[in-house]
Chains A and B, each alone.
Chain A
Amino acid sequence: MSIAGQPPPTAPLTCEAMPIGLLRYGLWGGRTRRRDLPLPGELKPSYDVVIIGGGGHGLATAYHLAKHWGVRNVCVLDRGYLGGGNTARNTAVIRSNYITPESVRFYKEGVELFTRFSNDLGYNIMYSQRGQLTLAHSDASLRTFRLRAEVNKHLGVRSEMVDRQQIREIVPCLNMADDVRYPILGGLWHRDGGTARHDAVAWAYAARAAEMGVELHQRTEVTGIRRDKGKATGVETTRGAIACGHVVQAVAGMSSRLADMAGFRLPIRSFPLQAMVTQPLKPFLDPLVSSAALHAYVSQTGRGELVIGGGSDPYELYSTRSTLELKESLIAHTLEMFPFLAEVKMLRQWAGITDMTPDYSPIMGESPLKNYWLDAGWGTWGFKATPVSGKYMAETVATERAPAMLRPFRLDRFATYDLANEMGATAASH
Chain B
Amino acid sequence: MKIMPCPLNGPRNISEFSCFGEVTEMPEPATADDTTWAEHVWYANNMAGVVREWWCHVPTSYWFIAERNTVTDEILRTYPAGEVFKERVEFAPKDTSA
Contacts and interface: CB of A to CB of B under 8 A. Distances in A.
Contacts of B72: 319
Contact of B44 (A265, A317, A318, A417): A265
A267 B1 contact: no
Contacts of B48: 257, 318
Contacts of A211: none
A21 to B, nearest CB: 56
Given A314-B18, A318-B48, A325-B1, A414 B71 contact: no
Given A317-B73, A319-B72, A256 B44 contact: yes
Contacts of A324: 1
B80 to A, nearest CB: 20
Contacts of B2: 323
Contact of B34 (A265, A267, A415): A415
Contact of B15 (A316, A325, A415): A325
Interface string B77-88: 000000000000
Contacts of B35: 415
A267 B19 contact: no
A132 interface: no
Interface residues of B, number: 23
Interface of A is mostly: loop
Size bracket of the A interface: 20 to 34
A315 interface: yes
Interface string A246-283: 00000000001100000001111110000000000000
A256 B45 contact: yes
Interface string A316-344: 11110101110000000000000000000
A324 B68 CA distance: 20
A71 B71 CA distance: 37
A318 B45 contact: no
Contacts, number: 56
Contacts of B70: 270, 316-319
A224 interface: no
Q: Is the interface of B mostly helix, strand, loop or mixed?
A: mixed
A321 B70 CA distance: 12
Nearest to B18: A314
Contacts of B51: 316
A263 to B, nearest CB: 14
Contacts of A321: 73
Given A314-B18, A316-B19, A325-B15, A267 B73 contact: no
B44 A269 contact: yes
Interface in B57-75: 68, 70-73
A319 B44 contact: no
A408 interface: no
B19 A414 contact: no
A319 B73 CA distance: 7
A270 B38 CA distance: 19
A358 interface: yes
B15 A266 contact: no
Nearest to A270: B46
Contacts of A319: 70-73
B91 interface: no
Contacts of A318: 48, 70-71
B36 to A, nearest CB: 10
A318 B72 CA distance: 8
Contacts of A265: 39, 43-45
Contact of A417 (B19, B38, B39, B68): B38
Nearest to B4: A315
A416 B34 CA distance: 8
Nearest to A319: B73
Interface in B1-35: 1-2, 14-15, 18-19, 21, 34-35
A269 B46 contact: yes
B48 to A, nearest CB: 5
Q: Which of A257, A267, A316, A414 has the most CB of B within 10 A?
A: A316
Interface of B: 1-2, 14-15, 18-19, 21, 34-35, 38-39, 42-46, 48, 51, 68, 70-73
18 contacts: A256-B45, A265-B45, A266-B43, A266-B44, A266-B46, A267-B42, A267-B44, A268-B46, A270-B70, A314-B15, A316-B46, A318-B48, A319-B70, A319-B73, A325-B1, A415-B34, A415-B35, A415-B38
Interface of A: 256-257, 265-270, 314-319, 321, 323-325, 358, 414-417
Closest 7 CB pairs of A and B: A256-B46, A267-B42, A315-B19, A414-B42, A318-B48, A415-B38, A267-B43
